[in-house]
Amino acid sequence: MGCRLLTALPSQMSSDTPASKPLAANENIKSASNFLRGSLVADLQDTSTGAISEDSGQLTKFHGLYMQDDRDLRNALKKEGKEKAFSFMLRVRLPAGVATPAQWLVLDTLAGELASPSLRLTTRQTFQFHGIHKGNVKPLVQRMHQALLDSIAACGDVNRNVMAPPNPEQSAHLQRVYDDARGWSEFALPRTRAYHEIWLDDELVAGGEPESEPMYGPTYLPRKFKTGFVLPPSNDVDVYSQDLGYIAIVENGALAGYNVTVGGGLGMSHGNAETFPRLADTLGFIGAEHVNVIGQAVLETQRDYGDRTNRKHARLKYTIEDRGVDWFKAEVERRAGMQFGPAREVHFNTIEDAHGWHHCADGNWFYGLHILSGRIKDEAGWPMKTALREIAQIHTGDFRLTPSQNVTISGITPAQKPLIEAILAKHGLAAENERSRLRLNALSCVALPTCGLALAESERMLPDLLARLEPVFAEVGLRNDAVSLRVTGCPNGCARPYLAEIGFVGRAPNKYALYLGAKYDGSRLNRLVSPSINVEDAVKLLTPIIHRYAAERHPGEGFGDFCDRAVLPADATFHSVGTVAGATPAA
């Protein structure tokens, strides 16, 4: 423990990794960091720059923080010979996406006082702040801490925010799934006190004595690790995209346990066939009491066998792809000291959030509010942030962030329902849920101007794309049909675009790879239709396909299924520039 690793250990290599291959730079940063401390304190105290060192920038991720710069300002600042406009993004740790009204109010205040005014809901059910200047990070973390919130392990090579269905009060099964998700999230937290020392001024561990990370070890995981819990028939968390998934199985009116899935992941790089999105494999069935022991065995197998020499090949999906799912299953069973039962049958039929008013088994209500791209801000005629603040001021239940970047106002008593209805009506927000199903289902990642990896616009382009596509669907009577549309600014896949019936993946300014044909329930990936197309041409390409879908679809057939069956040839996964069998771009 605590050793400095310079080359890959046998247990840290994939089957085809040469023994001499050096470890990825991040491995040395982690092992030299004394459990995620590094030189963060000194870097934060350096007021000569708004930035921190590159090594510290890797370590802050484990504390939920990314250093970024405003890319809209880059060129102008460069011309003026000035430093980039550095700031930090902070991602809150919020397992299963639950926040109290008091916490909502604190986050609402901090966005504006110590960060950019808008709050951003993410595709993994949490809040992000953007635009936090270096000197404001510590006060912001401390104010969050007073509201019992933190950002530990929200990013970094660890088990990150655990996803779960957002409305547990809907049924006792959902409550149990939610409890299991929270339990696993707590169990898999790193044990280092670095966060408390650096941001909350807790006493330093005497003499920097080595701590122990019983589950992770001193170099944590080879790469990020994501877990999602789901209760069929809804696949709202996109369970097959998770490194580790638990699919709840209800039998005879009780939660019998979970089918366990492993090796999902979506990130890839354009033009690099060795990187690819992958759907998870199902290992088998376990009783609910075994969630943590199996989770630990999966995580530790990946810790020991994941590829630490190449971060583009380090996710669990590649470990499984290289060694085979049978090997992986046997290793997990050996470590857990138990065997999987045969997987139970599961049926998913949707990924959609529950919008609008819903009555719950406990007599209370919840209200699902659509928020385009999860962006909570006040705009002329659209005071989303103010409305949600007013609701938080009177609400006695809680808020649940959804996997589709929306919010559910949960646990509303019958007495409070009219008060919340009045606030929504006063600000015109009730109408938001009346928008087209295409819009209600649409996701986009953040991309420009904050994301350092963005190749194209995403969140800022989605309104224009919707404005072009909505009339096409409406014209053929499909305004209220559920179709999933997801956009990202690069192939990393943060809005899970490869599981969308229509996926736009940024390649360059106004150039997107266009994907079609995923199954609406998140159980089949889509296929590449055009590797590089601009929005205008993509809409021209899609228009006749949408017309054909309206005219030719089988009863109940989803748009993705139709594309998969009738538009995309079965033997092809790739078509060059903007043409696809059966679809001629509209004039």
Catalytic positions are 91, 160, 224, 226, 445, 451, 490, 494
**Least distance to ligand SRM, CB of residue 62, Å:** 13
**Least distance to ligand SRM, CB of residue 380, Å:** 24
Q: Is the dihedral of CA 398, 103, 231, 179 positive or negative?
A: negative
Binding of residue 392 to ligand SF4 (CB under 6 A): no
Residue 12: which of ligand SF4, ligand SRM, none does it interact with, CB under 5 to 8 A by kind? none
Quick one: which of 259, 122, 318, 238 has its CA closest to 519? 238
How many chain residues are in contact with ligand SF4, going by CB under 6 A? Answer: 13
Residue 489: which of ligand SF4, ligand SRM, none does it interact with, CB under 5 to 8 A by kind? ligand SF4
Tell me what percent of the chain is helix, strand and coil, each rounded to the nearest 5: 35, 20, 45
Residue from 453, 474, 508, 581 that binds ligand SF4 (CB under 6 A)? 453
Quick one: which of 88, 78, 100, 24 has its CA closest to 56? 88
Binding of residue 494 to ligand SRM (CB under 6 A): yes
Cβ–Cβ under 8 Å, residues 323 and 281: no
Binding mask 434-463 for ligand SRM (x = CB under 6 A): -----------xx---xxxx----------
Binding of residue 446 to ligand SF4 (CB under 6 A): yes
DSSP states of 505-528 as a string? Answer: EEEETTEEEEEE---TTSSS--EE
**Least distance to ligand SRM, CB of residue 211, Å:** 25
Q: Is 98 helix (H, G, I), strand (E, B) or coil?
A: strand
Measured from each CB, the residue nearest to ligand SRM is 267
Binding of residue 245 to ligand SF4 (CB under 6 A): no
> What contacts 571, CB < 8 A, 6 or more positions away?
none
Please count the residues of the chain.
587
Binding of residue 261 to ligand SRM (CB under 6 A): no
User: Which amino acid does the sequence have at 262?
Assistant: V
- Residue 186 burial (CB count, 10 A): 11
Residue from 265, 295, 411, 531 that binds ligand SRM (CB under 6 A)? 265
Binders of ligand SF4 in range 505-534 (CB under 6 A):
none
Binders of ligand SF4 in range 462-491 (CB under 6 A):
488-490
Tell me the CA distances in angstroms from 300 to 4, 9, 318, one per residue in order: 19, 15, 15
**Least distance to ligand SRM, CB of residue 154, Å:** 6
Quick one: which of 331, 303, 284 has its CA closest to 190? 303
Binding mask 42-81 for ligand SRM (x = CB under 6 A): ------------------------x-x-------------
Binders of ligand SRM in range 407-426 (CB under 6 A):
none
DSSP states of 146-197 as a string? Answer: HTT-B-TTSSSSSB-PPB--S-GGG-HHHHHHHHHHHHHHHHTS----HHHH
Q: State how beta strands 119-121 and 98-99 pair.
A: unpaired
Quick one: which of 83, 18, 77 has its CA closest to 47? 83
d(CA 385, CA 391): 10
Residue from 114, 144, 266, 485 that binds ligand SRM (CB under 6 A)? 266
Cβ–Cβ under 8 Å, residues 559 and 483: yes
Binding of residue 241 to ligand SF4 (CB under 6 A): no
Binding of residue 24 to ligand SRM (CB under 6 A): no
**Least distance to ligand SRM, CB of residue 144, Å:** 15
- Applying CB under 6 A, which part among 24-32, 136-144, 323-331, 488-496 lies near ligand SRM? 488-496
Which residue, 295 or 506, is less far from ligand SF4 as judged by CB?
A: 506
Binding of residue 315 to ligand SRM (CB under 6 A): yes
The span from the first CA to the last CA of the chain, in angstroms, equals 65
Binding of residue 284 to ligand SRM (CB under 6 A): no
Q: Give counts: helices (H), strands (E), the chain.
A: 17, 21
**Least distance to ligand SRM, CB of residue 35, Å:** 21
d(CA 127, CA 375): 10
Binding of residue 279 to ligand SF4 (CB under 6 A): no
**Least distance to ligand SF4, CB of residue 489, Å:** 3
Binders of ligand SF4 in range 39-68 (CB under 6 A):
none
**Interface contacts to ligand SF4, rule CB under 6 A:** 445-447, 451, 453-454, 458, 488-490, 492-494
**Interface contacts to ligand SRM, rule CB under 6 A:** 66, 68, 89, 91, 122-124, 126, 128, 160-161, 224, 226, 241, 265-267, 315, 405, 445-446, 450-453, 492-496
